[in-house]
Copies of this chain bind each other. A is one copy, B any other.
């Protein structure tokens, strides 16, 4: 576990984030594996056994992680933001019935010909969301 924490601490530092214990807790949950969690879910997971991080800190920390490029915000539902621990370029399925967000295999979709951007603008990111629903 200590090894894992050391790796996480290095990762945070690498992203210019000072590794406090709350941030480590959140990173431990969210970065454990590729996944999509809402702030609510992170809050619940982190405090599952005993309360260690407040709601405000979860929101602030997730916002910080996103700004620093450690995670990626995925906006598919007006009612909540998802945080994706996979920052590699990839696209998503969103099942609006179940609220489930899943990755689209990278080789099964292709976006070609990124269009010319409007004057005075630079590219931030390209989001592709394939919305699906239960039959």
A56 in the interface (beta carbon within 8 A): no
Report, as a range, how many residues of chain A touch the other chain.
35 or more
The digit string for A101-135, where 1 denotes a CB below 8 A from any CB of B, is 01011001111111111101111111111111111
Chain B residues within 8 Å of A96, by CB: 124
Known: A75-B78, A78-B75. A124 touches B133 (CB 8 A): yes
Known: A75-B76, A129-B127, A132-B123. A93 touches B111 (CB 8 A): no
Q: A121 near B134 (CB under 8 angstroms)?
A: yes
Q: Closest residue of chain B to A121, judged by CB? A: B132
Q: Closest residue of chain B to A124, judged by CB? A: B131
Q: A114 near B120 (CB under 8 angstroms)?
A: no
A45 in the interface (beta carbon within 8 A): no
Query: Which of A121, A122, A134 neighbours the largest number of chain B CB atoms within 10 Å of its CB?
Result: A121
The digit string for A71-83, where 1 denotes a CB below 8 A from any CB of B, is 0000111101100
